[in-house]
Structure formats: C-alpha cells, structure tokens
Amino acid sequence: MSTTATTDMLAKARIAVLGYGSQGRAHALNLKDSGLDVVIGLRPNGPTWSKAVADGFHVVEPAEAVRDADLVAVLTPDMVQPTLYKESIEPNIKAGAALLFAHGFNVHFKQIEPRSDIDVILVAPKGPGALVRSEYERGRGVPCVYAVHQDKTGHAEDKAKAYAAGIGGARAMLIKTDFKEETETDLFGEQAVLCGGASELVIKGFETLVEAGYQPEIAYYEVLHELKLIVDLFYEGGITRMLQFVSETAQYGDYVSGPRIVDSATKERMKGVLTDIQDGTFARNWIAEYKAGLPNYKKLKQADLDHPIEQVGAKLRARMPWLQAGAKAEQPQLKKVG
C-alpha cells in the first residue's frame, strides 16, 4: 500500500480522457486541477461534448485526442470499448504511450488485445465519480487500486501511480493489484452482494411480508428504506459499528436468523457465480447479450422496474422531500449500458 505517489511522471505528458460520464468528468477535472495537460475525446455532437467544453476543456474526436497523447484513459462503458479501441485507439496511439483503464474487463477477457509497443495500466477509484471529485475538492481523495498489464517502457507502474495521484487517490491509499483480480472481484461484488444479492434480498423480504398480509408500505420501510441506515454504519465502521448502533434485540436477531437466510448453501451458490466469472461464462454471455441488442437485459430490467416494491416506493418517496435531489435516478433509461 502506498500514499506517497506524485504526478511528476506525467508533468510533461498530454493525457487524453475518452468519455465524459461520471468517472470521466471527475478524472479529467481532478487531473486538470493537479496541473496536468488534459484533452477530452468524445463523439461529435454527443451528449457530453458541450458539458466538457463548458468545463473549460479542449474537446476533439477520440482519434485526434489519442494521436498526440502520452497517456490515453479509456473511461467509456465496457461494451463500447472494443470498437473504440479498434477504430480510434489502435491506429493512433503512439509507441511508448500508456493505455489506461478503470476496469479490467476487456483486457482480462481479451476483447481488447493492446499493441505490444505500449504500456497498459489500470487505475480504479473505489467510489463513484461524484465522490472522486468532491473528495478531491476537499483536499482529500478516494482510495484507488492500480495494476500493470504490460510494461513496454519500464515506467508503467510509475505512470499508473502518477495518474492515481493526479485524481487524488494517493492522498488516501493506493493498493496494487492485477487486471485479473480487479476484474473478477469487481464482477463478483456486483453480482453476489452489492447489486444482485442486495436487490434480491430486499425483493424477497418485501414479498414475504406482503404475502403474509402486512401492508406494502410497512414492508417497504422495513426491508428497503431502512437498509440505508445499516449500510451507512457498515460504510463508516464495518460490522463493529453496525452492532454498536442497533438494539440488543436487533443484534440477537442478527446472530440467530442471519445464518438461516444466508447459509452454507448460499455460499456454495456464490462460489458458482464466482466460477462463472473466473472461467469466462459470464463475460461470454454478457458480450453475446449486448451484440444481440440486449433482449433479455431489457426484459429483466423492466421486470424489476415494474415490481410492486417500486410502485409502492415511488409513492412513499414522493412524501420524503429530502430524497427529491435524487429523484431523477428513479426513472433509469434502458438505453444506458455499462
């Protein structure tokens, strides 16, 4: 673990940031505020072009941004990266430059096979773009993991650490990993716990209470709304802090009932999920689904949006004005992927 990295390695470099979504914008602004030379590469007339210009950046098409760059940061959705690489990066990136990713999916699963004459690195902040930006502005930073896949110049690791310093990660913590570990653990966390596991646990809890005759509104508050209180305690101080702030009754219920819900059989199924990630089954299925136009993805997503817990939740959230700042997130667009 390291917190001593500086931006010196990139002091005279031009950095091309491809993509200007949540992470792309945060990285670009932080790098610029760290005194580094940043150009943004975007599709002409894309939805974020004017936003990047308004933020004070020079914005050009991806191929042009790549051509003069010493480091190219690929911060677009996973599924568009292979085409972006083939069309704009591979023909234009200069020998000895660095190609940087924030997630190892395409390199690890060989959807992108980088040219042999460049450095290939990874820097992944452990937080959303908004937090990466706000922590930087406070003089702090979000911890980052970093990795080297290909070291052509002998300076690939130094470049990765300098980039992490530029976005504020070195102010907090840098953890060295590799593309395999970052990719597989990230996918597992999303599927088994953070997204898939958590959402299914909430839905099944809601259904259990409603089917037993309890009011849907009460069920919503008990299994979804109050989950934030527990997650915040986990986030602040782990299981120890959570146990400090819940009642003894809740603690006892945790000890005796938690293992009845998430038991050894659940763990075995988690291992199955991990195996599908490790052997490439999940990646192959997801890539095929994307290429087919996302028919199952759209159907499954719509089923979640149509579930009674969302219908009840929308009405209840409308009565909680402190949540309205995040109201736009209640209607996700099916076209957004990655």
- Active site positions, annotated: 103
CA 230 to chain centre: 22
Q: Answer yes or no: is 222 a known binding residue.
A: yes
Written as one string, the DSSP assignment of 23-70 is HHHHHHHHHHHTT-EEEEE--TT-TTHHHHHHTT-EEE-HHHHHHT-S
Q: Is 249 annotated as a binding residue?
A: no
State the amino acid at position 154 in one-letter form. G
Nearest in space to 28 (alpha carbons), one of 234, 310, 36, 231: 36
- Between CA 122 and CA 99 the distance in angstroms is 8
Tokens of 17: 């940031």
141 is in an annotated binding site: no
Is 181 marked as binding a ligand? no
Beta carbons within 8 Å of 71's beta carbon, 6+ residues apart:
10, 13, 14, 15, 16, 97, 98, 99, 100, 159, 163
Q: Is 226 annotated as a binding residue?
A: yes
CA distance 319 to 229: 19
Say if residue 22 carries a ligand binding annotation.
Answer: yes
Q: Any known ligand binding at 43? A: yes
186 labeled part of a ligand binding site: yes
d(CA 312, CA 220): 7
Q: Tell me whether residue 48 is annotated as binding.
A: yes
* Cβ contact 84:114 at 8 Å: no
**Is 21 annotated as belonging to a binding site?**
yes
| Cβ partners under 8 Å of residue 62, min gap 6 | 16, 18, 41, 42, 43, 84, 88, 89
Binding site per annotation, positions for Mg(2+): 186, 190, 222, 226
Binding site per annotation, positions: 20-23, 43, 48, 129, 186, 190, 222, 226, 247
Binding site per annotation, positions for NADP(+): 20-23, 43, 48, 129
Binding site per annotation, positions for substrate: 247
